[in-house]
Structure 1
């Protein structure tokens, strides 16, 4: 086993006693706590306030077992630091969590549950969480799951924390499954309209191809810009080469140089592509989560489509909430107001309404883990 113990000092102790004390004090006084790591995703979810509880001081890679494809890391560890350690062993986190800033932490990654371009083919954050430790609203430091897939004790609770936005507890330590970097990668680009692109992706998705990610986009700032579908292949060298040759011929595409394509995929992951830059004060960035087979939506807004059709981004005013949510529900999906514009979005909920069954389960979970209701109240 290779272990890297980072920062064992007075400011980074063996247990998160300071965090536990802050939680206990908050519970006793009914003081709301705003849990943050790097605070790079403060825009995500409903605005919340409270005394800041920061995990930044709780850093370090506790253990990394390359042969077992497992890493255990403290929540305040920078995502960039973890990526660097894994890269040294030819490994990575396949869900490609968005990096919204240099101080993004792995605890924030799990709490937000956001994934990058390859989500539809490799899985999301919760699919790679093997176990974790967190502090509940009673100030108890609890452990769920383990470091191997066969250890299923409390496994669902571990996954439950992914995407909970800190409303159930303070994540302190996470064990994650990692994967080896693929031997080969190729990016193909096709000039296709949205309907054609979705049809092609659905056809390819049902075939034994090394598909890893897709992105369809039209540059809304350029009236005559082409509609482009980008497809990323990853896998064995022979499989990637054969698939590249076949798909280029089949859909009249081109193969991009990896040196050019790499930054573009990073920009898609981190939302730094031109599409994600909008200076209009009333424009909000909406995220529509739909079945992959959903058709082209009849909405008058430019879109960027990922995950073979399952994730669709668009810019629209907050006033379009009802229109967008109705369109998403019509195809069994939902719409999230991901980023409010400069004018804000007063009176518009960031997340779509939950069904009565899900709402009941959510309330019971919060009552169990955070009976005083102090963790990020109102965030979701």
Structure 2
């Protein structure tokens, strides 16, 4: 079925890319600009994707939805919600008008990530305008069609550095029948131990966050399994809006006037030797850190436990994304060279070398 507000503006986007290629002009690809604070500052002519919008195809029985890049994420989620379906990776929006293209390009996932998978795991296919001035389709709408699948997945988290995503097909899932959030009083060390134990057991946990004093859990599934888990774990009932507030960084923790860092670490990592206040998300695998420490010191501590650190405070440092190893940088450069040989797409957004 088709939905209103459908506008296929791909010809105009392709023309703008070809003009930029001809004039060797860099392009700054953006939708609602809601993730502009992530990454390095990009100089270039703005390519606004919001004119190319609309849901192209959605049949709830297929568990696949296809939308153009400029479609508001809220619109896509509302359409899914009306059919009791969802995007399990819970991408944060950071703005009411955030777009589907920006969601894929940033590749950010919400509290359910360790239990359901990341944005890239739900991308089945894409249409992309490449740096050769071609509008190409990769992957497909059907889950068994894996041709070009990996290239589509590479677009997730590419921040527009590899091409203009014009359309994306996403795998969706039914919404859980029951959802209940609880809060338990315990310190972070105990919370991480319990989470490791619980991960070996059939508990319907779909989010876990520790705020320094309490462990917050979300239980999702059938009535029986959620009820049984609630009886077993105890705790106080937590307002279910907590998870959206965490995901959209509306909690009081994020108000503190200190640089914000996202630390990605193994969930069983030893405590980091870094000053600051922290919030443990993803069962400990994602840590939000508010700290005035030097970037090098934070990254050194995180690297020691096999993790990486991204600075969420715009313009604070020149390399907000964790620097790549020489081998990884080599592959990134080769990929960029193949898909964007003239280097016109969001140059330097991810790394100065790209």
Is 1:142 aligned with 2:113? no
Is 1:86 aligned with 2:80? yes
Partner of residue 214, structure 2: 228
The ranges of structure 1 where at least 4 consecutive aligned residues each deviate by more than 6 angstroms after the TM superposition are none
For residues 133-169 of structure 1, give each alpha carbon's deviation from its aligned partner in whole angstroms, at most 9, with x where no partner exists: 0100121001111112210101100100000000000
Partner of residue 222, structure 1: none
Partner of residue 7, structure 1: 5
Is 1:307 aligned with 2:307? no
Shift of 1:255: 2.9
Cα distance in 2 for partners of 1:295, 1:245 equals 31
Q: 1:249-288 to 2 correspondence within 5 Å?
A: 253-256=235-238, 261-278=239-256, 280=257, 283-288=258-263
Partner of residue 376, structure 1: 346
Is 1:334 aligned with 2:308? yes
Shift of 1:287: 0.4
TM-score, length-normalised on structure 1? 0.90
For residues 51-108 of structure 1, give each alpha carbon's deviation from its aligned partner in whole angstroms, at most 9, with x where no partner exists: 0001100010001110110000001000111111111100011111112111100100
Shift of 1:48: 1.1
Is 1:345 aligned with 2:323? no
Cα distance in 2 for partners of 1:45, 1:137 equals 21
Is 1:26 aligned with 2:20? yes
For residues 196-220 of structure 1, give each alpha carbon's deviation from its aligned partner in whole angstroms, at most 9, with x where no partner exists: 11111111112111110011113xx
Asked if 1 retains the 8 angstrom alpha-carbon contact of 2:21 and 2:342, the reply is yes
Asked if 2 retains the 8 angstrom alpha-carbon contact of 1:194 and 1:296, the reply is no
Partner of residue 217, structure 1: 211
Q: RMSD between aligned alpha carbons? A: 1.2
Give secondary structure in 2 for the equivalent of 1:56: helix
Cα distance in 1 for partners of 2:41, 2:297 equals 23
Cα distance in 2 for partners of 1:205, 1:157 equals 32
2:148 counterpart (151, 154, 177)? 154
Q: Which runs of 5+ in 2 are unaligned?
A: none
Cα distance in 2 for partners of 1:231, 1:72 equals 32
Partner of residue 227, structure 2: 241
Cα distance in 1 for partners of 2:43, 2:193 equals 45
- The alignment of Structure 1 onto Structure 2 pairs a total of residues equal to 350
Cα distance in 1 for partners of 2:144, 2:343 equals 34
Asked if 2 retains the 8 angstrom alpha-carbon contact of 1:6 and 1:59, the reply is no
Cα distance in 1 for partners of 2:81, 2:5 equals 20
Cα distance in 1 for partners of 2:202, 2:270 equals 23
Q: Which runs of 5+ in 1 are unaligned?
A: 219-226
Shift of 1:262: 2.2
Give secondary structure in 1 for the equivalent of 2:53: coil
Cα distance in 2 for partners of 1:70, 1:163 equals 21
Asked if 2 retains the 8 angstrom alpha-carbon contact of 1:195 and 1:295, the reply is no
Shift of 1:320: 1.8
Shift of 1:322: 1.1
Cα distance in 2 for partners of 1:78, 1:262 equals 24
Is 1:321 aligned with 2:292? no
Cα distance in 2 for partners of 1:327, 1:206 equals 29
Give secondary structure in 2 for the equivalent of 1:85: helix
Asked if 1 retains the 8 angstrom alpha-carbon contact of 2:67 and 2:169, the reply is yes
Cα distance in 1 for partners of 2:128, 2:231 equals 48
Shift of 1:290: 0.7
Asked if 1 retains the 8 angstrom alpha-carbon contact of 2:180 and 2:240, the reply is no
Asked if 2 retains the 8 angstrom alpha-carbon contact of 1:23 and 1:138, the reply is no
